[in-house]
Amino acid sequence: MISECPHCHQALRFSDAHRQKLTTAINRLPPDRTLKFACPKCKKPIEIQSDGFPVSVKESASGAPILPSPSPRVPVTPPNPQDIGWLANGKLKEDQVINTIPTAMVLMPEGPIKQTITNALEEQTYQLYFPDTVDEAINSMRFRDFAVVVYHSKYETSPLNAQDFHRFMMQLNMSKRRSIYYILMGPEFQTLFDLEALTFSANLVVNTSEAEYLSVLLKKGRVDYEALFTPYSTLLKKYGKS
């Protein structure tokens, strides 16, 4: 007769009357039929055969349950390691951006200044994203969150106010724009001139001659920005706005 639950292995303590009813029910079982009842401890169903033992569970001569042998383990092929080739150049593909690490998008002509900016952002522990085209940059902005965007005024050939990406940034919905620290770089800007940054709908303007100081400028600019807008953002959230 069954003495413990085959699931939780807790002892089944039947009263004499209950044991008698259980024995009678087992004796009346038709061939190839089983009796089912719930374990009073774990509530899982126990299925008893006509010999009084659980289905697929027998008892040894000592009375201990003999559980069926586990299925043989199927060899597991480990996955291939990640492709970390992007570490060599610091350039992430669009599907490699990690959402939990702040990302900086950089749109600058190739050259030593771009490398200087890359080094400064890496020093600030941003993961970097370099779109190949303006269209790719705009599409990425629609579906991804960027903490910082660095844009060079000579990235496109037209005047700044006519450049597609800059126009996109100026027209971006404020619920998304407020979370982006937009940095404009170029030979025409006066570094840290807030009024000029405001005129161009940017958070910070940096003259290319001061590109090597971007790490310090970014630290200062972010602190000033958060001091100015954090109370405002807190109020917006309080009233259900973003």
pLDDT of the chain, 242 residues: tens digit per residue: 677 777 787 777 777 777 777 778 777 777 777 777 777 777 788 777 777 777 765 445 555 555 555 556 667 676 666 565 655 555 555 555 555 678 999 999 999 999 999 999 998 889 999 999 999 999 998 888 899 999 999 999 999 999 999 999 999 988 888 889 999 999 999 998 888 988 999 999 999 999 999 988 888 877 776 666 566 566 666 666 65
140: left (phi over 0), alpha (psi -120 to 50) or beta: alpha
Domain range enclosing 180: 89-238
Are residues 104 and 208 located together in one domain of the fold?
yes
Are residues 58 and 109 located together in one domain of the fold?
no
Give me the phi and psi of 41, to 5 degrees please: -95, -65
Are residues 180 and 112 located together in one domain of the fold?
yes
Q: How far apart are CA 5 and CA 67, in angstroms?
A: 12
Structure tokens at 119: 């080094």
On the 0-12 / 13-18 / 19+ scale of CB atoms within 10 A, 151 is buried
At 17 the pLDDT is 75
In a domain, 132, yes or no: yes
Are residues 55 and 133 located together in one domain of the fold?
no
Are residues 50 and 96 located together in one domain of the fold?
no
Structure tokens at 189: 């800007």
The structural domain count of the chain equals 2
At 205 the pLDDT is 92
In a domain, 76, yes or no: no
Are residues 126 and 54 located together in one domain of the fold?
no
Q: How far apart are CA 65 and CA 53, in angstroms?
A: 9
Radius of gyration (C-alpha) of the chain in whole angstroms: 34
In a domain, 81, yes or no: no
- Residue entry with tokens 């289905």: 55
Are residues 159 and 115 located together in one domain of the fold?
yes
Are residues 94 and 57 located together in one domain of the fold?
no
